[in-house]
Amino acid sequence: MFVDRARIFIRSGKGGNGSVSFRTEKYVPDGGPDGGDGGKGGDIIFQANANLRTLMDFRYKTKYFAQDGENGKKKKQFGKNAGDLILKVPPGTLIIDEETGLTMADLIHDGDTYIAAKGGKGGKGNVHYKSSTRQAPNFAEAGGFAEERWVILELKLIADVGIIGFPNVGKSTLLSIVTSAKPKIGNYHFTTIHPNLGVVEIFDKSFVIADIPGLIEGAHKGLGLGLSFLKHIERTKILLHVVDISGSEGRDPVYDFEQINQELDRHTKKLSRKPQIVAANKTDLLQSQEKYEAFKHYIENKGYKVFPISAASKQGINDLIKHIAWELDNIKEEEPQLEDIFDMDIHGQKDEYRKVSVRKENDIYVLEGKQLEKIFNSTNFNDLESLRYLYNYLKSRGAIEKLLELGIQEGDTVKIKDYEFEFYE
Ligand SMILES: Nc1nc2c(ncn2[C@@H]2O[C@H](COP(=O)(O)OP(=O)(O)OP(=O)(O)O)[C@@H](O)[C@H]2O)c(=O)[nH]1
Ligand SMILES: [Mg+2]
């Protein structure tokens, strides 16, 4: 099954917590802190893999979780880092953040990778919090948060050549004789219901060719298979436009040619401006040579090259393929069109993480912030120094000042997450 769109949920691993522990060796009466650091949580990484051609797997399994980092241990032992979770996708897959609709990555080449959810950092063990005034820190850092999001995977195939044309003109037959692809072929319309890719080998070169089915007059209104597959030719360099020159179904090849081009134009102007090579297929059924000559004349007048072929008897195929290879060599090398990429790490994400917001709700002072939440999770409320650490953090983020501005008095209630406590400077 060919699937070119999927919606999945991903979550990276949380960082392991730092450990709170003290040395308890014999003959060392007052062992110092020896709590080790937590391990890093696993990342969720997308990786393009040339052996894949569809997003089908993501239809069956829609939720992916990386492992959490291991907690730190006593004797300064680190918790283990969790392994990353690598999700393989076909080259040409866009990774889109569902919430914002922004494209996070466009994995074009085999092996391209993108970290779509970073694992939380491991928390520091209490061994790091020892200072001249704080000999026995009774707290450690909590592991970093996991990241989670819904993402849309959208595949836009990467091919050098896109075969287009009306149903039943012989697109799939052509693909099947020049590559090892095995598309469905039959003497009826919409035999092939999804795009197929094949690799053409010629001399010491090769190029990728895609059979794009389902285009008919009115495709832009959703007729035939509609325009859903046209996105797959957006990144091709050349279009190979196949017509049935014999008119075996009673249609006029010139009319067909113009109709398909109008559909391309309605999709995006860019598509109709792509270089086109025209293959006049089914010459074996051609009744009169004049018919071909008239067609050729018309098409060449429009500035396209025409090749008479018979996919059934393989006549003319070699010349056509050689010409395509030559044209691909000589085309001015345009980089495949990349999507606009949005970097989730810049654009204020970090500032957002560090921001502490302060507001008064009835008589309660509410503090909120992502980083605050993390430090709060690390706080040991039975330990004065740990509380002091939290206090210093709030002060450094300007939150204490803000509380005073809002008129906080000693003994008033402050709320962080679900916890309420009294304020003392
Ligand atoms: N006589 C003759 N028949 C051909 C030739 N090329 C293809 N055919 C036949 O035409 C019919 C349609 O061929 P396909 O390759 O399935 O056509 P298609 O353009 O892929 O059609 P859809 O997938 O429906 O869009 C099949 O019965 C083929 O055997 C040719 O050169 N000569
Ligand atoms: Mg077909």
Residue at a domain's end among 156, 181, 209? 156
217/121 same-domain check: no
Q: Please report, for the domain that includes residue 257, its CATH number.
A: 3.40.50.300
pLDDT > 70 in the chain, percent: 92
382/418 same-domain check: yes
CA 96 to ligand 2 center in whole angstroms: 30
> Would 65 be classed as within a structural domain?
yes
- Looking at the CA of residue 211, tell me the nearest atom of ligand 1: 20
Cα(75)–Cα(197) distance, integer angstroms:
57
CA 144 to ligand 2 center in whole angstroms: 52
Decide: helix, strand or coil at residue 103: strand
Considering the entire predicted model, what is its pTM? 0.72
CA 168 to ligand 2 center in whole angstroms: 7
Of 166, 171, 173, 282, the residue with max ligand 1 atoms within 8 A of its CB, to mutate for a pocket test, comes to: 173
> Would 373 be classed as within a structural domain?
yes
pLDDT at 336 exceeding the cut of 80: no
Tell me which residue range forms the domain holding 6: 1-156
262/409 same-domain check: no
Residue at a domain's end among 330, 364, 391? 330
Of 185, 256, 283, 317, the residue with max ligand 1 atoms within 8 A of its CB, to mutate for a pocket test, comes to: 185
Q: Please report, for the domain that includes residue 30, its CATH number.
A: 2.70.210.12
CA-nearest residue, atom 8 of ligand 1: 170
Q: How many domains does the chain have?
A: 3
Which helix (H) or strand (E) segment is 328 a member of?
helix 317-330
Answer whether 303's CB lies under 8 Å from 277's CB.
no
Q: Pinpoint the alpha helices (H) of 213-302.
A: 253-267, 269-272, 289-301
Q: Taking residues 392-416, what's their average pLDDT?
A: 92
Cβ atoms within 10 Å, residue 412? 16
169/131 same-domain check: no
258/404 same-domain check: no
Cα(41)–Cα(146) distance, integer angstroms:
7
Q: Residue 349 CA to chain centroid, in angstroms?
A: 19
Higher pLDDT, 29 or 127: 127
60/152 same-domain check: yes
Taking the CA of 240 as reference, the closest ligand is: 1
Q: Taking residues 308-329, what's their average pLDDT?
A: 94
289/357 same-domain check: no
The pLDDT value given to residue 211:
92
Q: Taking residues 62-66, what's their average pLDDT?
A: 96
> Would 335 be classed as within a structural domain?
no
310/366 same-domain check: no
93/118 same-domain check: yes
> Would 337 be classed as within a structural domain?
no
Residue at a domain's end among 156, 182, 207? 156
Q: Give the binding-site residues of ligand 1, using a 6 Å CB cut-off.
A: 165, 167-173, 185-187, 189-192, 213, 281-282, 284-285, 310-312
Provide the total of helices (H) and of strands (E) in the chain, helices listed first. 10, 18
Q: How high does pLDDT run on average in the chain? A: 87
